Amino acid sequence: MAEIEVSLEERWGLGAYPVASVFGKSVSADDTLIVQKRDYPDLVMYVKVGDACDVVLDAVSGARRKSDGSYAKVSVGETIMSFSAAGEQCVKLSEVLATEEWVLSFPFLHLRFTAATTIDFVAFPAVTTIEALAKLKRWGRSVEPAWIHGDEITAPAAGTALVSVTVSAGKTGYIYGFFISAGEANDFKINWTSGGAAKSIRIPFSGSGALQYVDFVALNEGMGADAGTDITITNVNAGGTNTVYQARLLYAEV
């Protein structure tokens, strides 16, 4: 196993960013290549191989080398490209990673080639778009919350889900706002499950009226809703005869 030497160029766009490249390089099985991403949020890679081979994100690290020349690495071990024969692929790292996003926080990526082959390789950081920056600034994460609408319900029984949304598999749900209207006094609860434990926020109405609340900090920040569970708004007491209730949730998931 050897470290593959790459050419590193400095380019300028929204800022200085490195471009790593190597062309026509013969590699042996388990040779590694180190890509410098710096603090950019993502990485684009082009790989061309002359034989069947997998490209594995073997590890990540936060510093170039230790004093003995080795790296202080955090193991990942995830295949990000797979070739059954000679071919080429271009990927954006965030779109092929199955691991948590923490991998993208590290400035150095250690790639391993699983078989002997000849490679062309180009990698460079992906710059965040203005749209993505706007989402991060407004909501604290790269999301675009959407309203989940509940229809009007007349005289709901106690504990009725006036609006409900199920957190998608593999996601965490966040509540960025709500709308509640009622024709009488009642208490309401926003309900969700975090870490397997039931959570709720009580919202009292002293009389009839409507309330809308939206914030850039999620109401359940630090207590995200578990995948596969429901987020609901319920009325605590039964609604009066012919009394109309309605609710909505401003929701996003990551």
> What CATH number should be reported for the domain holding residue 214?
2.60.120.1380
Q: In 3-state terms, the chain is what percent helix, strand and coil (to 5)? A: 5, 55, 40
Domain boundary among 97, 127, 157: 127
123 and 150 co-located in one domain:
no
Q: Rounded mean pLDDT of the chain?
A: 88
Based on the domain organization, do 61 and 15 belong to the same domain? yes
Same structural domain, 55 and 87:
yes
For the ranges 19-28, 180-189, 195-204, 237-246, the lowest mean pLDDT is seen at 19-28
Task: Judge whether 112 lies within some domain.
Answer: yes
Tell me the CA distances in angstroms from 9 to 3, 36, 123, one per residue in order. Answer: 18, 11, 11
Distance CA 126, CA 39 (A): 10
Q: Above 80 in pLDDT, residue 14?
A: no
Residues 114 and 170 in one domain: no
**Domain for residue 58, yes or no?**
yes
> What is the per-residue pLDDT across 97-129, written as a single tens digit (0 to 9) for each?
877 678 888 888 899 999 999 999 998 877 656
Task: Dig out the tokens for 10 from the structure.
Answer: 């400095």
Name the domain count of the chain.
2
- CA 120 to CA 20: how far, in whole Å? 11
Q: Is residue 136 part of a domain?
A: no
Listed residues 73, 96, 127: the one ending a domain? 127
Inside any domain, residue 169: yes
pLDDT band at 227 (very low <50, low <70, confident <90, very high): very high
Is there a domain that residue 133 lies in?
A: no
> CATH no. for residue 76?
2.60.120
Tell me, yes or no, whether 132 lies in a domain. no
Question: In Å, what is the CA distance from 168 to each residue of 3, 67, 93, 218, 252?
Answer: 41, 46, 22, 18, 10
User: 16: pLDDT confidence band, cut at 50, 70 and 90?
Assistant: low
Among 99, 127, 155, where does a domain finish? 127
Instruction: Establish if 70 belongs to a structural domain.
Output: yes
103, 13: one domain: yes
Q: What is the DSSP letter of 216?
A: S
Percent of the chain whose predicted confidence (pLDDT) is above 90: 61
Structure tokens at 207: 């009389």
Residues 111, 84, single domain; the answer is: yes
User: Is residue 84 situated within a structural domain?
Assistant: yes
User: Which H/E stretch holds residue 130?
Assistant: helix 130-139
Domain residues for the domain of 92 are 7-127
Domain co-membership, 120 together with 22:
yes
CA quadruple 90, 95, 100, 101: dihedral, nearest 10: 90
* 212 and 108 in a common domain: no
Q: Are residues 119 and 154 in the same domain?
A: no
Global pTM value: 0.56
Residue whose pair of structure tokens reads 């470290």 in the numeric block: 3
Q: Tell me if residue 107 falls in helix, strand or coil.
A: coil
